């Protein structure tokens, strides 16, 4: 039997799904992050092959049975990056004597949009480790806002929220800032009790900074003033993203889907963004996706196979 595989390669985890050639989902597995900009390209490639092999094990199949693989990667926002990851995947396969029929790498925003609005106009707001707003208009034209990476962008993302949270904790340790519940969370959950321990944790132990974003959300839910200020600032950045894309679309009415580990469920941050949208952008409607991103990757894989035939 022949299969197609779709992968949602995020900064937090990787989801891999296998389907038959009609696009019917058969199996799904999860694995470690495959964002090569944060985890490194060699590790990302290994993690990708691990989740694919997990699917194949469940199917009792092998690589020659896979007709097409589509990978939506959180680190592949530009053509240079997609080609680089495709090349490294092919080299790894050659080294390991793995037969790959066809691999296509696209941005995680592409598969999220295809899954959420298959063949239709709409926007997806991705907030996980990074952030981006990706839209398609009624004519099929694509528009993006954000997605510039943690060093010069990614406002509203887990990384941005976590960095501000860590800054607030460091200020409290130094006596330069007000007390925050977040400091107690770091002490209780990460055994960080001083600025020296904070420095060691961040710079010497490969600490995943974006993982602290959920601690900021937890702190904010207790009513902590500083954590709520951080979320309010980041939510305002997301509103700027949406206002910017509305200008590009020359429209004030759009549907938008929330996706990404930070906002794809009900929490203090996702609810805050929704409230701000309702207050300042009443014609923007937050809706549920038709399909998750990994299904968007399957749909794109199916489309590629059909075009070849």
183's tokens: 């400091």
> Are 153 and 278 in a shared domain?
yes
> Are 94 and 56 in a shared domain?
yes
> Are 105 and 131 in a shared domain?
no
pLDDT tier at 302 (50, 70, 90 boundaries)? very high
Number of domains observed in the structure of the chain: 2
The CATH number given to whatever domain includes residue 148 is 3.30.420.40
> Are 71 and 180 in a shared domain?
no
- What is the arithmetic mean of pLDDT over 161-172? 93
> Are 160 and 241 in a shared domain?
yes
Name the helix (H) or strand (E) containing 79.
helix 79-95
What value does the mean pLDDT of the chain take? 88
CA torsion sign for 248, 252, 253, 254 is positive
| Confidence (pLDDT) at 45 | 86
Is pLDDT of 165 > 90? yes
pLDDT tier at 77 (50, 70, 90 boundaries)? low
User: Residue 147 contacts by C-beta under 8 Å, 6 or more apart in sequence?
Assistant: 77, 107, 109, 130, 131, 132, 134, 153, 154
- What is the arithmetic mean of pLDDT over 226-253? 90
| Confidence (pLDDT) at 76 | 66
- What is the arithmetic mean of pLDDT over 160-183? 91
Gap between the Cα atoms of 181 and 173, Å rounded: 13
Say whether 171 sits in a helix, a strand or coil: helix
Rg (CA), the chain: 20
| Confidence (pLDDT) at 37 | 66
- What is the arithmetic mean of pLDDT over 230-249? 93
> Are 140 and 254 in a shared domain?
yes
> Are 103 and 215 in a shared domain?
no
Question: What residues make up the domain containing 206?
Answer: 121-288
Tally Cβ neighbours within 10 Å of residue 159: 26
> Are 165 and 253 in a shared domain?
yes
- What is the per-residue pLDDT across 118-132, written as a single tens digit (0 to 9) for each? 988 899 998 988 888
Name the helix (H) or strand (E) containing 91.
helix 79-95
> Are 191 and 92 in a shared domain?
no
Gap between the Cα atoms of 42 and 225, Å rounded: 41
> Are 282 and 297 in a shared domain?
no
Residue predicted with more confidence, 51 or 147: 51
> Are 69 and 151 in a shared domain?
no
Tally Cβ neighbours within 10 Å of residue 90: 14
> Are 97 and 127 in a shared domain?
no
């Amino acid at each position: 039997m022949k299969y197609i595989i779709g992968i949602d390669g995020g900064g937090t985890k990787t989801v891999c799904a296998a389907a038959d050639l009609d696009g019917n989902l058969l199996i799904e597995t999860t694995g470690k992050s495959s964002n090569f900009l944060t985890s490194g390209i060699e590790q990302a490639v290994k993690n990708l092959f691990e989740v694919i092999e997990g699917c194949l094990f469940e199917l009792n199949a092998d690589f020659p049975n896979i007709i097409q693989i589509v990978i939506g990667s959180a680190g592949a926002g530009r053509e240079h990056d997609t080609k680089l990851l495709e090349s490294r995947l092919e080299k790894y396969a050659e080294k390991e004597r793995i037969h790959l029929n066809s691999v296509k790498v696209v941005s995680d925003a592409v598969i999220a949009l295809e899954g959420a609005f298959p063949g239709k106009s709409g926007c997806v707001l991705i907030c996980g480790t990074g952030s981006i707003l990706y839209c398609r208009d009624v004519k099929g034209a694509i528009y993006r806002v954000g997605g510039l990476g943690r060093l010069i962008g990614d406002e509203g993302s887990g990384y941005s929220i976590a960095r501000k949270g860590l800054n607030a904790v460091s200020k409290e340790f130094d006596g330069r800032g007000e007390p925050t519940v977040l400091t107690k969370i770091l002490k209780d959950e990460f055994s960080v009790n001083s600025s020296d321990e904070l420095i060691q944790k961040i710079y010497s132990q490969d600490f995943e900074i974006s993982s602290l974003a959920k601690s900021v959300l937890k702190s904010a839910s207790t009513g902590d003033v500083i954590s709520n200020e951080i979320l309010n600032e980041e939510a305002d950045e997301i509103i700027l993203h949406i206002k910017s894309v509305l200008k590009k679309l020359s429209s004030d009415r759009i549907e938008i889907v929330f996706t990404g580990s930070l906002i794809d469920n009900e929490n203090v941050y996702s609810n805050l963004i929704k409230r701000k949208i309702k207050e300042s952008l009443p014609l923007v409607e937050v809706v549920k996706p038709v399909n998750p991103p990994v299904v968007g990757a399957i749909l794109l894989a199916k489309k590629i196979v059909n075009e070849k035939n």
